Amino acid sequence: MKTPEQCSALEDIRWAIDTLDQQIIQALGQRLAYVKAAAQFKPTQDSIAAPERVAAMLPQRQQWAEQAGLDPMFVVPLFAQIIHWNIAQQVRHWRVQRGLEQGVGDE
């Protein structure tokens, strides 16, 4: 992939953005797979949320955003949303694994 400075046409830039967006979506899918795998280590549904872990994660994401030259006011709420959605998916997966909820798709 060309660097932004190497792009010679708008099509180059659009292709690169589309490629990066696809990689971001694939990474989110991989992240969710790990989140679901973590369900096997959670003894109770209440243990899934792990508020102490979330409390540690968001400041770290803020630091990473700052190091990457990104606005933490954008990145931190984005990751908060990703984390909370993943927690909900883990709860559902945990319940499906234990026969407490019916799965959909590849559960």
- Give pLDDT, residue 88: 96
Who's near 2: CB < 8 A, 6+ residues apart?
Answer: 12, 16
Residue 74 has pLDDT above 60, yes or no: yes
- pLDDT of 28-62, one tens digit each? 999 999 999 999 999 999 999 999 999 999 999 99
- Give pLDDT, residue 20: 97
Mean of pLDDT values over 69-98:
96
Helices (DSSP H) in the chain: which residue ranges? 10-38, 51-67, 72-97
Domains of the chain with bracketed CATH = 7-97 (1.20.59.10)
pTM of the full predicted structure?
Answer: 0.85
Q: Are 76 and 58 in contact (CB under 8 A)?
A: yes
User: Sorting pLDDT into bands at 50, 70 and 90, what band is 105?
Assistant: low
Mean of pLDDT values over 68-97:
96
Q: Are 48 and 42 in contact (CB under 8 A)?
A: yes
Who's near 49: CB < 8 A, 6+ residues apart?
Answer: 87
Amino acid at 4: P
Tokens of 100: 């407490």
